[in-house]
Amino acid sequence: MDKKIRLSGYQIISIFIFVLFLSGTSIADVPRFYGKEVVVTATRLPRLSSDLPWNIDVITAEELENFTNVGEAVRQVAGVDVITYGALGSVTSARIQGFNASQVLVLVDGRRINSPTLGMFDLGDILVGNIERIEVVKAPLSAVYGSDAVSGVINIITKSPKEVKRAISVSAGSFGRQQYAFSLAGENYWFSADHLAYGGFRTNSDYLADNVFGKLAFPSPLGQLILDGSYYSAGKGIPGVPTSEADPSSASEPNDRQADKNVMLSGAVKSDNYTLRFYQNILEQRLDPYIYGISSNKAWQTGVEWQQAMLAPAARYLYGFEAREDKGETTMSGSHTIRNYAAFLQGEFELHKRLLFSATVRTDKHSMAGWSSTPRGGLVYKLRRGVNLKVSAGSSFRAPTLNELFWDDPAWQMYGNQNLKPERAFSYDIGLERIFPSGRSISLRYFNSLITDMILWNYDLATYQTQAVNIGEVRSDGVEFALEQSLGRDKRSYLNFTYQNAVDNKAAVGKVIPYTPYVKLNAGVILGGNNIFLRHVGKRYADSQNTVELPPYTVVDWRMSRQINDLMVELAVDNLLDEQYSEAIGYYLDPSTFAFEQRNYPMPGRSYRIGVKREI
């Protein structure tokens, strides 16, 4: 009798790490490796990551080809926890070092896209075809970008016309998945379009998305003129939790639908010393039905930014100004507008040939939450060639969203609070990194953060009302370890491990923050035509009182590509070992007993896809 062989998560990890270290025995030419990446997010200016005190990860264009959306891509980053409520089209959010998704600022080419009503951005709504790289900075960056950059920033940097090749691609896979894409490019322009359809592995879990992106870049007497725009439209089924644990493909909400539309426009003039940019984001979400009717959520973000760099002996300075208007129209919060004005000053100093220091201070004036000033500072001490000690500290804040300020739902007795204060945090980080000439790097970091005045929805037994109030406090600390080996041009193997402990200090004293695993491990071998990725997530609690536990899981994904004449043929297998797991829970109302029962949101099992790409 045939038996299905299953390995435990730790057995899978042990085998994978053994293979990973074997892959490090063959080292080819090394044009780029850890510590030598030029990054822009941490300081708004291009700098070598080895010269910066902040904790930074880079996902390159070659690595992004292994993923469909940004949510999938950032899963492999140490200290980043991604939560998805199912497969493609499900809400996907990222948390950094134990804090929630609204405390992570998401940028596109340095401009914010977090929804002013919801506070976060669904990373499943950003397809990777337009992206040159993603920079993840795991440090407080309110001193640079203002509100929401509490635990870190995810900056999605789009391709320039010179980085794009004319191409057309087609792919198909399990659960009715189909994707069609093409791109056209010239010296000063590029245009791309994607169509992605997915039938779903559960009832009412289908997904249909269209994404269009364009960019123009021309020289002008004032600098490079850059105009870009994107349009994303998606229709999604919202299945809810299964009606039965025995039937994970079932749906407690077989008729609920969601429609998303995101339009992002930007115009900028850039030179070596200054940048002037105007932008507008239009974000729309429609739920049908939502409890008893249609719910809409629309937001408009309009902003202007200016920054100017200056050089001095052994120092660099950057200053800038920002103005932004956020307008929201939602079913439960009505129509409201808030404005934010800000100024910042940054200095980078070479105190000694082996000692670099950076400091930034920013002040924001929010039309509802008032004034917020956020300083930060960091040191890089080069102990010897290739060995760097890095220390950084800074404060940060998150202003209340429009929903938290103005929510008005008499039916459920839930109300916003116009007297809310910003959430405040202070964080510090100490790290040691070793970069070897062979292309191998090792780093170890300790992080510690305290956030106060957290905005929570509090139920008052006396009034039977729920209101947004500043009553939360969370302490999060932990350790990150990372090992990376370059294997040649655009090839590498890596292993990273995170231990974190995020604890509630007030609302549920001593309890671990929901969906925050103590342990997370990622590993991968990227060889261009043959790539494999592993992620292990330890146990998490799904409720504030730590009574509901989600078990650990280990998932392995595999990619292979081969050039056959003019065609690039790609094969992918997701969840290679068919792991059964869940990343979130919900509740099902039993129609016979009218009692709520806990249910896990199932994740898809093993799935396949094959694709063909041709340059034109």
- Is residue 372 domain-resident? yes
- Is residue 4 domain-resident? no
Cα–Cα distance for residue pair 13/426, rounded to 1 Å: 35
Please check the confidence at residue 23 and state whether its pLDDT lies above 80: no
- Work out how many domains the chain is built from and give that number: 1
Q: What is the CATH number of the domain that holds 281?
A: 2.40.170.20
pLDDT confidence tier of residue 290, bands split at 50, 70 and 90:
low
Q: What is the pLDDT of residues 26-42, one digit of tens each?
A: 333 333 444 568 999 99
Q: What is the pLDDT of residues 236-277, one digit of tens each?
A: 999 999 998 889 999 999 999 999 999 999 999 999 899 999
Q: What is the pLDDT of residues 143-167, one digit of tens each?
A: 999 999 999 999 999 999 988 889 9
- Is residue 453 domain-resident? yes
Q: What is the pLDDT of residues 302-358, one digit of tens each?
A: 999 999 999 988 899 999 999 999 999 999 999 999 999 999 999 999 998 899 999
pLDDT confidence tier of residue 590, bands split at 50, 70 and 90:
confident
Q: Which amino acid is at 313?
A: P
Tell me if 389 sits within 8 A of 436, measured CB to CB. Answer: no
Tell me if 271 sits within 8 A of 306, measured CB to CB. Answer: no
- Is residue 501 domain-resident? yes
Tell me whether strands 104-108 and 152-158 are parallel, antiparallel or unpaired. parallel
Mean pLDDT for the chain overall: 92
- Is residue 392 domain-resident? yes
Cα–Cα distance for residue pair 324/105, rounded to 1 Å: 15
What's the pLDDT score for residue 36? 65
Please check the confidence at residue 278 and state whether its pLDDT lies above 50: yes
pLDDT confidence tier of residue 289, bands split at 50, 70 and 90:
confident
Kindly state the percentage of the chain with pLDDT values over 90.
Answer: 85
Q: Which amino acid is at 598?
A: Q
Cα–Cα distance for residue pair 591/435, rounded to 1 Å: 60
Q: What is the pLDDT of residues 52-90, one digit of tens each?
A: 999 999 999 999 999 999 999 999 999 999 999 998 999
pLDDT confidence tier of residue 13, bands split at 50, 70 and 90:
low
- Is residue 1 domain-resident? no
SS3 583: strand
What's the pLDDT score for residue 8? 56
Task: Write out the H or E segment, with its range, that includes residue 72.
Answer: helix 70-73
Please check the confidence at residue 25 and state whether its pLDDT lies above 90: no
Tokens 């070092």 appear where? 97
SS3 10: helix
- Is residue 2 domain-resident? no
- Is residue 237 domain-resident? yes
Cα–Cα distance for residue pair 45/157, rounded to 1 Å: 13
Three-state SS annotation for 404-468: HHHCEECCCCEECCCCCCCEEEEEEEEEEEEECCCCEEEEEEEEEEEEEEEEEEEEECCCCEEEE
Task: Please tell me the number of Cα atoms within 13 Å of 469 on its side-chain side.
Answer: 10
pLDDT confidence tier of residue 21, bands split at 50, 70 and 90:
very low
DSSP, res 78: T
What's the pLDDT score for residue 488? 85
What's the pLDDT score for residue 593? 83
Top mean-pLDDT range of 207-211, 487-491, 584-588? 207-211
Residue range 113-119: average pLDDT?
96
Q: What is the pLDDT of residues 488-542, one digit of tens each?
A: 888 899 999 999 999 999 989 999 999 999 999 999 999 988 999 999 999 999 9
Kindly state the percentage of the chain with pLDDT values over 70.
Answer: 94
Specify the pTM.
0.94
Q: Write phi, then psi, for 128 (nearest 5 degrees).
A: -90, -5
Q: Which amino acid is at 545?
A: Q
What's the pLDDT score for residue 490? 80
Cα–Cα distance for residue pair 431/380, rounded to 1 Å: 10
Residue range 544-562: average pLDDT?
95
Please check the confidence at residue 484 and state whether its pLDDT lies above 60: yes
Task: Write out the H or E segment, with its range, that includes residue 19.
Answer: helix 9-23
Q: Which domain holds residue 279?
A: 9-615
